[in-house]
């Protein structure tokens, strides 16, 4: 993956547009819901005000945090693998995290949330590490083999996970973990995503090292980078974000693939510069998908994972066939 840093004179003013769009989405998210309550009444004391604090604000924050952190995890994976078509959902990381949660549920049914988090993060980290070893054996002249390998690898793990879940009558739980939806998000049931957001912020402080690692192992070592250490840090960030998201709301497909590609087409691959934009756009797109899911069949809802999955598929196909953006 080569660096394509766009000249400043040609860069689009994404920050103002994203800020206005995000503000509008937040207000819409607070105003729209199954309960017929006016937007003004939400800010008054009483039952309507409790609805805002207990349900709508937590749901809005959960969508923003999940989208932002998954988008950051996606750009980290793309940088390390040096391939634009990978993300936690196409590298087996998400499937391994679900396998860890399932194993904890089976062997320690009364396990606290912290233990589930530790086990799922560990299995997600192991899954990401195995994927990295697999792609190193692939020819660099065939970039599409990387996501195909990841999809086959993830599908194999998920098939085994699904078989075990079927045997122990846990398919319903598995479907919840792998298909994100925010209808059940309430105060006291989403706070783990703040940790995911904090981990995503941590990635910013290693952004320059991630960028150097994107040149490849030999080049990075030649530039004085401790490549193995940076790789471990990056994969730990990806594993933690993936496991936190799956435990809290479920996996949202294509966020880590679509968002970094959109930003890189206009702003290049400098991680320190693009990470804030990637996080902001990821949160905005997930929140927009959640709003679409609420409105399509109002007052019933379509899970955000389904909505973003459809939109992400369209954008993914566009990336495959569109001409590279000219930044110079």
Q: Which residues of 61-97 are buried (b: 16+ CB within 10 A; e: fewer)?
A: bbbbbbbbbbbbbbbbbbbbbbbbbbbbbbbbbbbbb
pLDDT digits (tens, 9 = 90+) for 132-184: 998 888 887 777 888 889 999 999 999 999 999 998 888 888 887 777 888 77
* Rounded Cα gap, residues 271 and 76, in angstroms: 9
pLDDT digits (tens, 9 = 90+) for 206-248: 988 998 988 888 888 988 889 889 999 999 999 999 999 988 8
List of domains in the chain? 54-321 (1.10.3470.10)
């Amino acid at each position: 993956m080569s660096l394509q840093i766009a000249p400043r004179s040609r860069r689009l003013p994404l920050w103002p547009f994203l800020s206005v769009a995000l503000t509008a989405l937040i207000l819409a998210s607070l105003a729209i819901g199954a309960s017929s309550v006016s937007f003004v009444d939400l800010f008054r004391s009483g039952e309507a005000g409790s609805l805002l604090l207990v349900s709508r604000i937590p749901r809005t924050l959960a969508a923003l945090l999940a989208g932002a952190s998954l988008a950051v995890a996606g750009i980290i994976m793309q940088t390390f693998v040096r391939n634009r078509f990978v993300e936690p959902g196409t590298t087996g990381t998400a499937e391994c995290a679900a396998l860890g949660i399932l194993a904890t549920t089976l062997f320690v049914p009364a396990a606290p949330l912290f233990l589930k988090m530790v086990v799922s993060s560990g299995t997600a980290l192991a899954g990401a590490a195995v994927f990295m070893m697999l792609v190193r054996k692939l020819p660099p002249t065939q970039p599409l083999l990387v996501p195909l390998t990841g999809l086959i690898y993830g599908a194999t793990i998920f098939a085994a996970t699904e078989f075990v879940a079927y045997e122990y009558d846990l398919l319903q739980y598995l479907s919840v973990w792998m298909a994100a939806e925010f209808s059940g998000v309430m105060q006291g049931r989403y706070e783990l995503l703040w940790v995911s957001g904090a981990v995503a912020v941590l990635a910013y402080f290693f952004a320059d090292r991630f960028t150097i690692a994107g040149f490849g192992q030999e080049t990075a070592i030649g530039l004085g980078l401790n490549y193995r250490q940076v790789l471990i840090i990056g994969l730990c960030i990806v594993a933690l974000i993936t496991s936190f998201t799956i435990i809290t709301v479920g996996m949202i497909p294509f966020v880590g693939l679509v968002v970094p590609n959109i930003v890189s087409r206009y702003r290049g691959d400098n991680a320190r510069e693009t990470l804030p934009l990637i996080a902001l756009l990821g949160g905005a797109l997930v929140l927009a998908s959640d709003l679409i899911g609420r409105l399509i069949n109002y007052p019933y809802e379509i899970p955000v994972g389904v909505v973003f999955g459809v939109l992400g598929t369209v954008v993914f196909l566009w990336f495959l066939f569109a001409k590279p953006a000219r930044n110079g």
